Structure formats: C-alpha cells, structure tokens
C-alpha cells in the first residue's frame, strides 16, 4: 500500500471519509443538519488537508468557528476520528498516512478542549 503523495490522494480519502460520515448514525445527522451542498465542503476539505499535509496555500477559513455552534460532544469527535483512521488505513500506509491521523487527533483534542472551555464559561471567545 502506498503513502499519501499529493492532492489526488487527499481527494480520495476526503471523498471516502465523507461518504462514511453521511451514512454514520452518530455524526451523519450533525453534518446533514448543516450541509446541503456537499461539493463546496469537500473542496474546502481538499484545500485544508493539502495545507495541513503539504503546506500548500489555498485554505481559508476558521474551522473551529464553524464547529462551535454545532450540537457536538466528545463522542462525536471520537467517531469522527474512528472513521478518519479507518479511511486512511484502508487506503494508505507510510509516514504521511500516520501524520494525517496524528494531526486529526490533535485537531479533535484541541476542538474538544476549546468547546469545553467555551461551554463551561471560561471566557473563551471564537476568533
């Protein structure tokens, strides 16, 4: 099995991952509640992961601000990570595949921490 090597690989894992997300009973309804046209979201995710893994320019946005108002909790992030790792592992092996899963874990941990502080009155504000 090959490693993630560029944008085509990112498009493959993003498309497969979000196909799983749409069908998932835990996180599917959250996404369905906010995304009606999937292609703009997928395009943004291609650019996001291309920036994360390869430092490519093109991603603009504030992912946390988009997620903060959603009805999500730790179990949603756990399921998101499970599906993400499953998708990567089914398609890729190598240092960048490992890095993609690690970065996804770091992002999930950061989001959960920020959401906890924001929802429990620590004064965190979305920038």
Domain total in the chain: 1
In a domain, 96, yes or no: yes
In a domain, 112, yes or no: yes
The reported pLDDT for the residue numbered 30 is 94
Element (H, E) at 35: none
Please give the C-alpha separations between residue 67 and each of 2, 8, 71, in angstroms, as whole numbers: 32, 26, 9
DSSP string of 89-109, one letter each residue: HHH--SHHHHHHHHHHHHHHH
In a domain, 87, yes or no: yes
Please give the C-alpha separations between residue 46 and each of 1, 49, 51, 71, 124, in angstroms, as whole numbers: 21, 5, 9, 24, 29
Query: Could you tell me the pTM of the whole model?
Result: 0.90
The reported pLDDT for the residue numbered 127 is 44
In a domain, 16, yes or no: yes
In sequence order, which residues have a C-beta less than 8 Å from that of residue 6 and are 6 or more positions away?
Answer: 54
Cite the beta strand spans of the chain per DSSP E: none
Residues of the chain with pLDDT under 50: 124, 126-127
Is the dihedral angle over the CA atoms 113, 22, 83, 53 positive or is it negative?
Answer: negative
In a domain, 64, yes or no: yes
d(CA 108, CA 8): 24
In a domain, 60, yes or no: yes
pLDDT digits (tens, 9 = 90+) for 88-116: 999 999 999 999 999 999 999 998 898 88
Q: Supply the CATH number for residue 35's domain.
A: 1.10.490.10
Domain carrying residue 45: 7-119
The reported pLDDT for the residue numbered 122 is 59
| φ, ψ at 43 (rounded to 5°) | -60, -40
């Amino acid at each position: 099995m090959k490693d993630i090597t560029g944008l085509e690989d990112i498009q493959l894992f993003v498309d497969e991952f979000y196909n799983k997300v749409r069908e998932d009973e835990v996180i599917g309804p959250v996404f369905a509640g906010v995304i009606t046209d999937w292609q703009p979201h997928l395009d943004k995710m291609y650019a996001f992961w291309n920036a994360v893994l390869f430092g490519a320019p093109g991603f603009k946005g504030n992912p946390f601000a988009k997620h903060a108002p959603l009805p999500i909790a730790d179990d949603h992030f756990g399921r998101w990570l499970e599906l993400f790792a499953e998708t990567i592992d089914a398609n890729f092996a190598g240092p960048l595949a490992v890095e993609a899963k690690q970065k996804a874990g770091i992002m999930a941990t950061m989001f959960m921490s920020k959401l906890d502080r924001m929802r429990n009155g620590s004064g965190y504000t979305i920038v």
